[in-house]
Amino acid sequence: MEHRRREPAKGVFRLVLPLPFPGLDRVNAYLLTGDEGVVLVDCGIWDPAVPDHGYSELVAALAACGVEVSAVETLIVTHPHADHYGMAGRLLEETGCELWMHESAREDLLVYEDPAAATEEVRGLLAHHGVNAAELGELTGFEDWRSYVSSPVGATRDLRGGETLTWGGREWTFVHTPGHARSHICLWDPDQHILISGDTLLGAITPHIDFRGEEDGNPLGDFLRSLEAIEELEPRLVFPGHGRPFEDGAERARVIARHHDRRLGAILQVIRREPHTAAEITDAIFGEALLNFQRRMALGEALAHLAYLGANGEVERIEQGDGTYLFKKLPRRGADGG
């Protein structure tokens, strides 16, 4: 693809890198420049289907901004999903740069280090929630992302959130925003009210919230709290992980939160008269005419919403004799006058 210089804020360059996925064919990385050197935020995917696995695209995008890849001193990964992290191993090998990620990224990297175990866990999860045996193989065939990651490298510096990075005349603060991924971080410039949002805040689509069966996990609850934190920051300008930069991040956070509130209401409507499995709820909410990867994502979204409703005491999970679960709507607290 053709690369050009994009500088949406002084010293902050947007790199647009290709992705091999229908409907999601671009990802953003951001280049921070200054007298201190060069920092790269996210790095694109390792694509097994193209020459040199797409590394030349990253090199060309940097060159369009007048930067050689060898100048990159630090790579900050907002979250270790393959489209933002896949090129990290190759970049570290070529440049010797540091890699900064949130400390909980260690857990997220396990899906690359032992994909068979991760796939088996998801197969068990979906089976418990009403997916029939004939579908399980097709729906879990997307869990092994190793071919899109050059190597599953760990961080040289762990972040917790709250740290600052002074670079190019700006003081960036790292904000931990779990939900889309437990290890997700954003970069916040409080002086100019600029947010590098990764996939926590997107302008044209809502970020995918997945549930993978974590005990007491509540990724949607985490995500909604992250949106509240962003709303309080009131970003004037947002640099997202996909799509063009946009203004008024607080309003966008509210819009996404309202989207999930409507989804929660729709799920409660489905189970208002009788309990259903998560698979049945997914079909009712998203429809049955989905491709396999779309259905897998829809199931993850539905389960994330059900986990949230369960944590809030609005639904009860009932185990049946065959080991599958049904979800039952509970009366509203105080509805009996108590």
Transcribe 241-273 into DSSP letters. SSS--EE-HHHHHHHHHHHHHHHHHHHHHHTSS
SS3 (DSSP) at 311: helix
- Check residue 45 and report its DSSP letter: -
Q: List beta partners, residue 175.
A: 186
Predicted pLDDT at 334: 58
Predicted pLDDT at 316: 97
Helix and strand totals (H; E) in the chain? 11, 14
pLDDT < 70 positions in the chain: 333-338
SS3 (DSSP) at 281: helix
Distance, CA of 59 to CA of 48 (rounded, Å): 17
Architecture of domain 12-315: 4-Layer Sandwich (3.60)
Helix segments in 34-108, DSSP class H? 55-64, 82-85, 88-95, 105-108
Distance, CA of 102 to CA of 155 (rounded, Å): 8
Distance, CA of 15 to CA of 29 (rounded, Å): 5
- Check residue 71 and report its DSSP letter: G
Predicted pLDDT at 43: 98
List the Cα angle 38/235/26 in 5-degree steps. Answer: 55
SS3 (DSSP) at 165: strand
Question: How does 88-125 read in b/e, with b if 16+ C-beta sit within 10 Å?
Answer: bbbbbeebebebbbbebbeebbebbeeeeebbebbbeb
Predicted pLDDT at 300: 96
SS3 (DSSP) at 97: coil
Helix (H) or strand (E) segment spanning residue 226: helix 219-233
